[in-house]
Structure 1
């Protein structure tokens, strides 16, 4: 069959490869000048760096299998991770049972309850019964109000804002369970490609080209509709209209709703359903510095007055030597469409975030920053 895949992110590229392997003729449409989607990045210090923080868990079995099939398994390396949390402006290690017991923002009894709950969730294999229960209610009940307000509520609010009460406990279980199973009887290890995730994107692109897949970048789709017979689908772009037997869309649901806005036979209720799916915007500042600010890779920010919820010292996971000896940082958050940060220019966001970094790390010298993105 002739199949169009709309969206050149990792999902679209992998789907196109699977379909091409089955003998179908594939065309990929990507609106940007490059493929890779959220895993895309930019050249940096002789290598490649992503626009947003990325790593691989040991439990990402399908991805690891894909890496093996693409012949780049030797480029995926594993490094020991470390986690901390900022509470009331102070940094606390938060990766082990001992760390939880030493987490003094909450009383000892709350630490014991928190540790017991984390242990139980890490070893629980069934998640189905957790699906209908909001994480805020479950965690508040079992960890206790103090631990919930100090740890889980700030993290849920930071990641989901006004929607945090709607987040399923099954989602939070998956986050905790995944990290626990990245340990293998030792400290957590996370994977990263020598050369960045561009190694994966380039390998996928080469595999697709070897299968004769057409990759059309700078080609935004404007409309989709079924043919009069209903046996094919029309894809409209600025370059014209093409006909396919099937179309696979890997774009956000509201974008897909725009594509089919004028498609005959599509019920308005279905388009409304697509448009009603709530999305958050990701904001991430990447910067490099001659300073090393902490011994931790991943720092969760529990203070609500901070502009970001995660602070990642990338070069505490992998060697700074990969980046000519400089230290690489990410500061990221997720905000709804009406958030004040979205009204700022890029330079203003960078200034706001770097000012907040100095609040966490008083020794931070802005003059040490060599690049920001």
Structure 2
């Protein structure tokens, strides 16, 4: 049985601004096991980054607050820990990689010193030990001529090399959990593939667990073990990567899959865009947040939040379409096509069960 590292229950996060309360995260349930990669997928503003920043209360300014819920890390509730204790966790047990390496690196500090910093702070290395280990880590992430370029500044490296340096800083203390917030979005396709391969390789060597945040389902196909789909500050579907790609049940997941090209997509194939815009989280709806944009919305979607439905022991969906009273609907053709191409070793579940995560 896998070791549970992190478990989030009924998490609510709000930001207080002049216009009112932005309910950025509403009732999120999430877990991460040792050695696995969980991808959180959704459009901008869906609550992905806020959910992960809440783990160590890494909010900018004083407007963000955890209203409700628990975040259990190795059996301790992080929401109850003071800032002083959370500072000790950041960079040591839980590290983050952000989207743009130039905002993560200090432009006035040599890159070697930046990799040494967490080793000195969290591991109590002396300068000689920290330098030796920093060069080892820079070599590990594939930075060319790491020892010779140890005293170079961030602007002297390419975008892909800077991201490797950021990854080296995040992994310096061999954290138990690595949160990667769209780490490849600013890179070209070739460099993106290299960074993803690097992260997979490093995960095996360092034995860290990864939460990978992205808006692109295509990116997670070869890196994730499980996928959680977020919309409007809520989780709407979660399951093993094959379950999401080949047997998805939520209309929002269908929309994300329909807008994702693949190698066989020809010029005659129309990629579907999701109509409308994300919900206003100053005034979130009482029903399904995706109802306004969904062609499959039922009357009840505008009135009541759907419960969780259990499709398999690892696959859960929050959609009224899975209620026994709902009409049968067919997903878009491009989604059905992927289902028909389902791997031979993947078997669809035979029934759906309504469940509750309350309490």
TM-score interval for Structure 1 and Structure 2 normalised by the shorter chain: under 0.3
Normalising by structure 2, we get a TM-score of 0.26
Larger proportion of helix? 1
Higher RCO, 1 vs 2 (CA within 8 Å, ≥6 residues apart): 1
Name the TM-score, length of structure 1 as normaliser. Answer: 0.25
Task: Compare CA radii of gyration and give the structure with the larger one.
Answer: 1
